[in-house]
Amino acid sequence: MITDIAFWGIGLVAVLGGAAVFYVNSMARATYALALSFVAVGLQVLFLQQNYVGVVTILMMVMEMAIMAVYMVMFMGMNPALMPMSMVHSNKTAIAVALTTFLALATGILMVDWPTRRGSPPPDVTMALGEALMGPKMLVMAVISPVMVATIVAGVVLAAHRTRYNRFGDDLKQRPADDPQPGGVGR
C-alpha cells in the first residue's frame, strides 16, 4: 500500500515538474524543473525494479541538466538565465497539437488488440534489458562516459581564464598584478 502511494506520488511529481517547465518564467528554473521531472521518472523506474535503467536515468538527466545550466550561465552571462521569459510559443497551436496527440495516442492504446505474452520473462530482467539496449557495447560506454565528463570539466576550466574572485574590489575592468594581459595593474 505504501509502495503504491509512493509510486503514484512520484508520478505526480514527474507530471507537475514537466508542467512547471512551461509555467516558470526563466530558463534556469525550467532546467531545474525538468531535472526534477526526470529524477522522478528515474525513481519510478526504480520502483519497477529496473535498478540499472533507473539509476542511469537519474545520473544521466542530473548531469545533462547541470551541464545545460553551466552552459547557460557561461554563454548568457550571470543574470540572463534568470530573467523573466516565456517558455511557451504559439500557445493556442501548442495546446491544440498536444491535445490531438494525446487523444490519438490514448485512442491507439485503447483500440489496439494487444497480443498475449508468449513464454516467460528471463530470470534477470535487468540483465536482459541491458543486453537488449547496449549489446556488446556496454564496456565501451562504461569507459567513454568518464572520459566525456572529464572533457566537459576540462573545457569549462580552460574556458575560464580568470574568475570573478580574481579581481580587486568592484572595478571589473581593473586587472590583478599577475594577469598577463596588457594594461594590467602594476605594468
For residue 149, what pLDDT is reported? 81
* 3-class SS of residue 59: helix
Per-residue pLDDT of the chain (187 residues; tens, 9 = 90+): 888 899 999 999 999 999 998 888 878 788 889 999 999 999 999 988 888 888 888 988 888 888 887 777 677 665 666 677 766 778 889 889 989 999 999 999 999 998 888 888 788 877 787 777 777 777 787 788 788 888 878 877 776 666 555 555 566 566 656 555 555 444 4
Rounded to whole angstroms, the Cα distance separating 174 from 164 reads: 12
For residue 175, what pLDDT is reported? 61
What is the 3 state secondary structure string of 133-158? HHHHHHHHHHHHHHHHHHHHHHHHHH
The grid coordinates listed for 53 are 535503467
* 175 class by beta-carbon count within 10 Å (0-12 exposed, 13-18 middle, 19+ buried): buried
For residue 108, what pLDDT is reported? 94
Rounded to whole angstroms, the Cα distance separating 89 from 87 reads: 7
For residue 42, what pLDDT is reported? 93
